């Protein structure tokens, strides 16, 4: 899933993201970013992410697991 981390870093506008990074710590972690993540997941991994599923997520790893669960 290295590609996924690259995609997430690009969307969050940072150099790199790590599994343990907390989503709330990113300045750009807002509804727009969540929409971009959902669009990327749909495009690259073929899964639909709902906003309520994203609400409980804490770390980048949680997000990765959610996207993987939709593949």
Residue numbers at the binding site for other proteins (CB under 8 A): 13, 27-28, 30-32, 34-36, 38-39, 42-43, 48-51, 54
C-alpha–C-alpha distance, residues 43 and 20, integer Å: 25
46 SS3 class: coil
Closest CB to other proteins among residues 4, 49: 49
Instruction: Report in angstroms how near the CB of residue 37 gets to other proteins at its nearest.
Output: 10
CB 64 within 8 A of CB 38: no
Instruction: Report in angstroms how near the CB of residue 51 gets to other proteins at its nearest.
Output: 4
Q: Which residues pair with 22 in a beta bridge?
A: 59
């Amino acid at each position: 899933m290295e590609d996924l981390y690259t995609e997430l870093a690009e969307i969050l506008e940072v150099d790199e993201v790590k599994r343990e990074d907390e989503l709330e710590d990113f300045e750009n972690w807002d509804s727009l970013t969540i929409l971009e993540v959902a669009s990327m997941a749909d495009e690259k991994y073929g899964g639909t992410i709902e906003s309520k599923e994203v609400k409980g997520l804490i770390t980048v790893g949680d997000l990765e697991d959610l996207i993987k669960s939709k593949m």
